């Protein structure tokens, strides 16, 4: 039991360390105007794709429900 708890603690500490390094690296990258603009554009495109997929899923589920009701 102690070994598992120790392992869990090490994993948590390692995860926190990796997150701090990644955050520091992203902060440095975001200072670059060109990178920031490309990143913002990619994020907007991703949000648009997600919303389009959600909308299509909703439409197809509504069509399936309507078909069930008609049958």
**Measured between alpha carbons, how far is residue 43 from residues 20, 36, 37, 50 in Å?**
22, 10, 10, 11
What residue spans define the domains of the chain?
1-31, 33-71
Q: What is the DSSP letter of 10?
A: H
Measured distance CA(13)–CA(7) in Å, rounded:
10
Whole-number pLDDT of residue 2: 60
What's the length of the chain? 71
Positive or negative: CA dihedral 58, 60, 61, 66: positive
pTM of this structure: 0.55
Whole-number pLDDT of residue 42: 95
What is the average per-residue pLDDT within 4-26?
Answer: 84
Tens of pLDDT, residue by residue over 19-62, are 888 889 888 988 999 999 999 999 999 999 999 999 999 999 98
């Amino acid at each position: 039991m102690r070994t598992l708890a120790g392992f869990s603690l090490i994993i948590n500490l390692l995860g926190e360390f990796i997150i701090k390094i990644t955050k520091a690296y992203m902060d440095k990258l975001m200072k670059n105007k060109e990178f920031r603009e490309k990143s913002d554009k990619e994020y907007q495109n991703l949000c648009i794709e997600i919303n389009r997929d959600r909308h299509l899923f909703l439409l197809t589920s509504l069509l399936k429900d309507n078909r069930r009701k008609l049958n």
